[in-house]
Amino acid sequence: MELAAAKQKFIEAWGKLGSEWGINRTMAQVHALLLVSHEALTTEQIMKDLSISRGNANMTLRDLIGWGLVEKQHKAGERKEYFYADKDTWNIARQVAKERRKRELDPVLKILDELSNVEGDVKDPEFKTFSKSVKDINKLAKNVDKTLDTMLKAEESWFWGSIFKIFK
């Protein structure tokens, strides 16, 4: 397989995976393109490579920067902005976990906490089932949250450190 074809395939696969996990396809593709590019690229080049519009490229790049996955680079003597992606997979995973926790897990946790405190007739099986399900899910979600927190903050701790070495 040619390098160009291989890159293409990678971009497609990454885009598909992203869209299946709630990250928009173009965003994942731009990220993929930057991941496999040795040099930082301009908006112009990204537009051309992925056949997307200027507006789309611009917004997507801003989003990626917002996710902490891409950074701007300025080259001396040039007006244009160049973009490049952090290539460390562990950082990528961390950043994504961090953002999604903040954007999606935290709001749900808040609601679950509220619902955990709903009071009702303990004799009512409908209430009992509701209460138990919500509490169980809340417990699981809280643990996931706590684990992510530990993982994001204290990667260097002896416990997680030794587990992360397996992954890196």
Count CB neighbours of 22 within 10 A.
Answer: 8
Partner touching 127 among its own copies, DNA, none, CB below 5 to 8 Å by kind: its own copies
d(CA 58, CA 52): 10
User: Is residue 15 left, alpha or beta, with left meaning phi > 0 and alpha meaning psi from -120 to 50?
Assistant: alpha
SS3 1: coil
d(CA 68, CA 86): 9
Specify the stretch interacting with its own copies by CB under 8 A; choose among 40-48, 54-62, 64-72, 104-112. 104-112
Q: Which of 2, 3, 4, 79 binds DNA (CB under 7 A)?
A: 79
By CB under 8 A, residue 24 contacts its own copies: no
Integer angstrom CA distances of residue 4 from 1, 37, 42: 8, 11, 18
70 versus 138: smaller Cβ distance to DNA:
70
d(CA 34, CA 51): 15
By CB under 7 A, residue 62 contacts DNA: yes
By CB under 7 A, residue 48 contacts DNA: no
Contact 11, 50 (CB under 8 A): yes
By CB under 7 A, residue 45 contacts DNA: no
By CB under 7 A, residue 119 contacts DNA: no
By CB under 8 A, residue 73 contacts its own copies: no
Specify the stretch interacting with its own copies by CB under 8 A; choose among 53-61, 63-71, 74-82, 85-93. 85-93
Q: What is the dihedral of CA 132, 134, 137, 143, to 10 degrees?
A: -100
Q: Which of 8, 12, 25, 49 binds DNA (CB under 7 A)?
A: 25
| Residue ranges that bind its own copies, judged by CB under 8 A | 1, 3, 6-7, 9-10, 13, 16-17, 19-22, 35-39, 87-90, 93, 103-104, 108, 111-112, 114-115, 118, 120, 124-130, 132-134, 136-137, 139-140, 143-144, 166-167
